[in-house]
Each structure stands twice: as structure tokens, then as C-alpha cells.
Structure 1
């Protein structure tokens, strides 16, 4: 009998305490964390000032306006390429990368300004760079086969360039390589560079990019490599790109006449074209300059491309290619 009474007492106590615990859990208010530390408060104020204040501050710090910046963040979040963590949001992760590439800053500078450790900045930089690279098939598209509006609406170019879909050229980006490799990467510049090939349409959007070749490589060699790749450059039947005299005349690529005045400054003042070849070169140059404008806008927007980088060659190679892929200077910025 004593054993039975003891068991009943234990059971009753167990049910009593379980019910009290459940009632306490239901009635207990939600957990509130302690006040944010001074460092976290400074970081949040800094972020709000950058992309929650106005477009001027956002462009100055991130080289993008607020609307396209949040559009990029939502795209990365929607495709599950980046995730909000308990410590950092997607907006902060993307903002750190844009600040690095926009002003060519060291991670230690970001560490001081953003109140993050160097390891954290380095980790998120690599994650965001990889995520942006995964957008290449969504943001970079081959040109349309229709006649561009810029050509169609101009009597200078239509109908002579009605089948032209863009312009191709190469640009040199600083390459940080070991001393034993610098000879191959030193070409026309007095410092090591990588020769980046790009195709641009007449809306200043990049339609193809190939990065990683040494600065001493010839433009024609890089173009041949781009055409031989499985996912390389493709030209539709009957269409062509404008190229400079460094490329050979072949189906799909139209260079100017050699040994004839070509550049716009050669026709300044009263030096008008005197024959059909000079007239063709003048109009060819005035249309092909689009690719030079695209390179200029990109390098002016993101200073890491036009300055000595603090990152190794592998990272800078991916970065040079990814920055073109994202169309950050035209597609997101909404020019």
C-alpha cells in the first residue's frame, strides 16, 4: 500500500509540475536580448547612413543608387545565393564588396569603417563575389539580331551598319602576380596587366567578357581563344562586330581600312574626309567608340579595375570578369 501511495504521489507531482511549466511557457513573454553594444550601434548607424539615407550618399560609398542596390540584394536573396545571418544581412554583405571594389580599399580599412573583423570582411567578400558570378547567365545576354536603334535612327550609320550588333576591344587591368610571372604579364604597360576582351552593344551593355590572358597577349590571339571555347563568343549568321586594326578582317568582324585616317581627332577642324575610305573609317570610328565609353564608365565607377589591386591574380581575374557580368554600370545603375 505504501508503494502504491508513493507512486500516486509522484505521478501527481509530475503532472502538477508539467502543467505549471507549460502554463509558464505560454504566458512567458518573448525573449528580449540585451541592448546592442556600442560597436553594433555604430555599425547600424553607418549602414543606415549609406543605403537608407539618400541616393547621393549611396552612390558616393557604393557607386550605386539605392533602388538598384536593393534590387541586386533581393535578386541574390531570391536565388538563394546569399542568406541573412544572425550577425549580418545580405545588404551589409553586398555593401562591403561594393565599397571594396568601388574605392579599391584594403580589408583593414573596411574593418575599421564597418566595425567588422578582417576575417569576416574577407569571408563575405568571397561569398558575394562568387554569388555575383553565378548571375552571369541571367544578366549577360547575347545581342539581339535586330538592327540597334542607335544605328537605325542615324543617317550616318544606316543602312551601312544595319547588321552590326556591337563592338569588340580589349582593356588592360592591373594583375598582381609573382615576380617570376611578371615578364609574361608586362606588355604595352610598364606594370603587369591582364588583357580582358569584351563585346559591347550600343546601349553600353557588355554581351561577352573573357578575362585572364596575360598583358603581352595579342588581341587577335584572345579573340581566337574566345571563338574556340564551348561557351565562347558567337556571331549570328549575317551579323558582325566592329573591331580595330589589331584584328583581322574575317566573317563576323569588320575592321577599318589600314593606312587611312581613322581616329576622330585626325578629322578635327577642317580636315574632312577626302575619299570613300576615309568616310568609312570616320563613321566606323564614331560607332566603335562605344566600347571605349563602356570601359571608361566601368573603370571610373569601380576604381579597383583601373588601379593597383591588393588582391592576388586569381581573385582579380574573377573580379574583373564578374564585374562585367553583373552589368553594374548599366543594368543595375539604370543609366
Structure 2
């Protein structure tokens, strides 16, 4: 982040997050130490050497800044806006009232030996399953961290829309999801058994049916969440390998990284890390929001109608 963004972060942490300077450490130094650990994933003793502080002071500063950043969720998480009917973006103009895209990603963590079977993914990694929701401009709307790596994405989504601080999807709006999720009200999935992934369309192949055309456009738009996760892991080294912190702390670190990602994209005109992205391997009571993810015949029929409409418009 540039100096302007850093100054904005310090100001928000002080005024909104309650971060205070200490007798020997300014707010700026505390924030620099925190960002250094997140960006480079270094141990406490390395920071002690670089900044000339005791291990206790480093640890205290890290957790104070982390607590302050968690108070900024209401200010930094983006409020999504539906795609309008007059949208000109070639990726999103087909999906009127769409709010963005969502998916899950695995973040490697350290857990006690007794918990490792629950956190073991299909690839054998020990990780937490993180649900991320983002807008078309690659800013996070909602993040749910803490589920074990062995848990299916659909189960994490069910939890996200049913908990107290839930992911809200107003009726009539929806997010794009991949084929691992149920196609139902509020969550538009691609057609199964059809070409979908972007690399299948890069050799001049043209869609021959409404389902294929729908999947091609769906993949191009939903790719925004994949890029969002990729950019997040490029920016913060602590998300690329298991951290030295307990799992509860690491889950909060994941959310903090997403909030800082949003701040950078909100304040800086050009994200300095985005050029590296292509090379990276990658509520109680009644509400007006959707709170189930059950299959819906009406939603399935609407998807087919939308696919036919898109295909016919493209042919014309």
C-alpha cells in the first residue's frame, strides 16, 4: 500500500478501531509491525531483530492492531449493488440484478494433532475452508472463516445464510456460484455436464447451445472471485502457508487480510499487485433475505429461460 493508504488505515484504526499509542510505540509503528508479519509471514524473533523490540511488545502490538481491524468490518466490507439493466460490461451485462460471485478457498492452518483429520482436505492439506463473497470490482462483501477443510462448500454456505450475522441476499437478487453449489433462489450455478471452465473456450471453440453459451458467460463473470482469492494470497504471505498462530487467531487474520485488501482497492487508483495475478498459481426474527439453499424448480426454469434469451441475443 502507498503512504496515503497507510495514513488512512492508521486514522481509521485510531478513530474507529480504538487503537492507542503506547509509551514506547506509536500507532504507525504498531501498524507497520502488523503489516510486516502479514505480508512476509515472519516469526516474532525476526520482527524483534528488525524493529529492536521485545517479543512481548511485538506480540502485544500485533494483537492490538488485529482487534482494532476487526472493528472496521462494518466500514470496509463492501455493500453490493445489483447489476443494472443498462450495464455495458461484457462480462456482467447478461446478469441483471446479480450482486457478484462467491466461492470457497482453502487456507492452510496449524491445528492440534487430534483435530487434523477434520481439517484435512481431499488433497491431504490441513486447512480451513473459507467462504468469500465479492463484487464485480473485486472487493469482499462477506467472509466466513473457520470451517474445517473436510467440510463441503455447500454446507459452509448453508451456515453463512443462517447465522446471526448472515450473508444477506435480497429476493430478486443473486450471486454466481460454481457447480459445487445448488442452483437455487439467490445462487445461480452453471449447467452441469456442459463446457464451463475458461480454458475450454480459449482455442476458438464457439458455443452451440444455450447451455454452453450461458456457461461461457457465467464462467467469465464468476472468475472475479477466483481472481480475488488469488490477489489476496499474493498480497499476504501469511495466507500461503500455515501460520504460527492458533486456529482462532488465524481465522481472524484471514478476515483482517480481506478488510485490508478492500481498503487498498478503495483508496488506491491502481492495485500494485494485480499485475502479478495472472502469473500466480492459483438473523433472529423475520427478514426479507433468502435463508435457504434448497433446489427450486422455479429457479431452474428461470435459468433455462435466461440461457435461451442470452443465446438468441448473441445469435442475433
Smaller-chain TM-score bracket: 0.7 to 0.9
Find 1:183's aligned residue among 100, 106, 117. 117
Find 1:99's aligned residue among 24, 33, 36. 36
Find 1:81's aligned residue among 13, 18, 28. 18
Shift of 1:278: 0.7
Please tell me whether residue 120 in structure 1 is matched to residue 54 in structure 2.
no
Measure, in 2, the Cα distance between the counterparts of 1:123 and 1:249.
46
Measure, in 1, the Cα distance between the counterparts of 2:90 and 2:78.
28
Q: 2:172·2:186 contact (CA, 8 Å) conserved in 1? A: yes
Q: 1:69·1:332 contact (CA, 8 Å) conserved in 2? A: no
Distance 1:253 1:178, change over 3 A: same
Measure, in 1, the Cα distance between the counterparts of 2:75 and 2:134.
16
Q: 2:102·2:133 contact (CA, 8 Å) conserved in 1? A: yes
2:292 is matched with none
Shift of 1:320: 0.7
The total of aligned residue pairs comes to 269
Find 1:154's aligned residue among 76, 89, 96. 89
Relative contact order (alpha carbons < 8 A, sep ≥ 6): 1 or 2 greater? 2
Q: Gaps spanning 5+ residues in structure 1: where?
A: 1-63
1:322 is matched with 256
Rg larger in structure: 1
Find 1:249's aligned residue among 183, 186, 191. 183
- For 1:221-240, what aligned pairs fall within 5 Å after superposition? 221-240=155-174
Measure, in 2, the Cα distance between the counterparts of 1:268 and 1:182.
40
- For 1:41-52, what aligned pairs fall within 5 Å after superposition? none
Measure, in 2, the Cα distance between the counterparts of 1:247 and 1:329.
30
Q: 1:297·1:329 contact (CA, 8 Å) conserved in 2? A: no
Shift of 1:332: 4.4
Q: 2:194·2:212 contact (CA, 8 Å) conserved in 1? A: yes
Could you give the per-residue CA deviations for residues 158-178 of structure 1, whole angstroms, max 9, x where no partner exists?
Answer: 2x3011110000110011100
Distance 1:75 1:155, change over 3 A: closer
Shift of 1:156: 5.5
1:331 is matched with 266
Please report the TM-score for the alignment, with normalisation by the length of structure 1.
0.77
SS in 2 for 1:241: strand
SS in 1 for 2:34: helix
1:205 is matched with 139
Could you give the per-residue CA deviations for residues 274-297 of structure 1, whole angstroms, max 9, x where no partner exists?
Answer: 211111100000000000111111
Shift of 1:80: 5.8
Q: Gaps spanning 5+ residues in structure 2: where?
A: 271-316
Please report the TM-score for the alignment, with normalisation by the length of structure 2.
0.82
Measure, in 2, the Cα distance between the counterparts of 1:195 and 1:254.
21
Shift of 1:157: 4.0
